[in-house]
Amino acid sequence: MRPGLPKLIASDLDGTLVRSDDTVSEFTHQTLDRVRAAGIPIVGATGRGPRLTELTRSDIRAADYLVLAGGGRVIDQTDPAGPVVLRDERLDGSVLAVLLADLEAEVGPLTVMVEALDSPNAPLWGDQDPAWRYPDVVERRAREEALRGKVIKAFARTADHDVDTLLAAARRIVPPALATVTQAGLGFVEICPPGVDKATGLAVVAQNLGVDPAEVLVFGDMPNDVPMLRWAGWGRVAVANAHPSVLALADEVTLSNDEDGVAVYLDRLLSGR
């Protein structure tokens, strides 16, 4: 562990801060409160879209900033007048349609859901897939209809390929100038606007605060966390249950999400142990 304290701390939520039963322990909340009391801003950095903003606020109550939709939406929660949106990126549906067709030419038919709305608990549009683990409302729509406008992100899956194999194919096929592809442990490849990832989302926060990446500590567990781990210079911490790509990149490994690994690490950091 480096001497001193970072000037900004960011944590992924699902699989990192949030436990497998979808809860966050009181110990974790109290530890994050201690971090803020020490004068260190906190960022919740998640793949969850804006429609899940209130759930995200509940899971990381101490957050000064939220990086949502894998970096596409950034919210400053410190303004007394109310939350301020610092970034809002969208992907053109017509571009997404071409990318999906190109990917299907390589891997076969895909189940596709798109997140287009940011109102609370808004439905996803597209194909219903029993592999989706969350109780979201999926409004069945033909792909042409679902992609008629701009979208926040898309989720794509095929039963014929595991998610990492599908991601590797998507990264070969999808030009970074057109879209960003990743996966967050849901079994689906996620397709986001170009230039959107957790690193670029966090960079918006850091610039707003005047903090250098070398002063940032981050926690993560899945490939969509890799960009912010590469970006942060003070510390890159994986939870023990992390994806191999995250474990390989991390400076340190803490306990699993079910063992409150982020809070245990931060408690030790604040205590100077």
pLDDT beyond 60 at 1: no
Q: How far apart are CA 29 and CA 43, in angstroms?
A: 13
pLDDT beyond 90 at 246: yes
User: ∠ CA(258), CA(259), CA(263), 5° rounding?
Assistant: 110
Instruction: Tell me phi and psi for residue 82, to 5 degrees.
Output: 130, 170
What are residue 91's DSSP bridge partners? 151
- Nearest-10 Cα torsion for 94, 99, 100, 102: 130
Which is nearest to 72 in space by CA: 28, 131, 116, 15?
116
pLDDT per residue as tens digits for the range 149-194: 999 999 999 989 999 999 999 999 999 999 999 999 999 999 999 9
Contact of 67 with 202, CB cutoff 8 Å: yes
Q: How far apart are CA 66 and CA 77, in angstroms?
A: 8
What are residue 183's DSSP bridge partners? 189
| Model pLDDT, residue 273 | 66
Domain borders along the chain are 8-88+196-271, 91-192
Contact of 68 with 75, CB cutoff 8 Å: yes
Weakest mean pLDDT among 1-5, 22-26, 53-57, 100-104: 1-5
What is the edge-to-edge ordering of all strands in the sheet holding 189-192?
138-140, 124-126, 111-115, 153-157, 189-192, 180-183
Q: Which two tokens mark 137?
A: 């409302």
pLDDT beyond 60 at 265: yes
> What CATH class does 8-88+196-271 carry?
alpha beta
Answer yes or no: pTM beyond 0.75.
yes
Count of Cβ atoms closer than 10 Å to residue 102 Cβ: 14
| Model pLDDT, residue 3 | 67
Q: Which amino acid is at 211?
A: V
pLDDT per residue as tens digits for the range 120-137: 989 999 998 989 988 888
pLDDT per residue as tens digits for the range 184-229: 999 999 999 999 999 999 999 999 999 999 999 999 999 999 999 9
> What CATH class does 91-192 carry?
alpha beta
Which is nearest to 150 in space by CA: 126, 194, 175, 116?
116
Q: Which amino acid is at 142?
A: A
pLDDT per residue as tens digits for the range 12-52: 999 999 999 999 999 999 999 999 999 999 999 999 999 99
Which is nearest to 10 in space by CA: 30, 27, 35, 37?
35
Q: How far apart are CA 165 and CA 170, in angstroms?
A: 9
68 versus 133: which is more confidently predicted? 68
pLDDT per residue as tens digits for the range 227-245: 999 999 999 999 999 999 9
Determine the 3-state secondary structure of 271 from DSSP.
Answer: helix
| Model pLDDT, residue 198 | 98
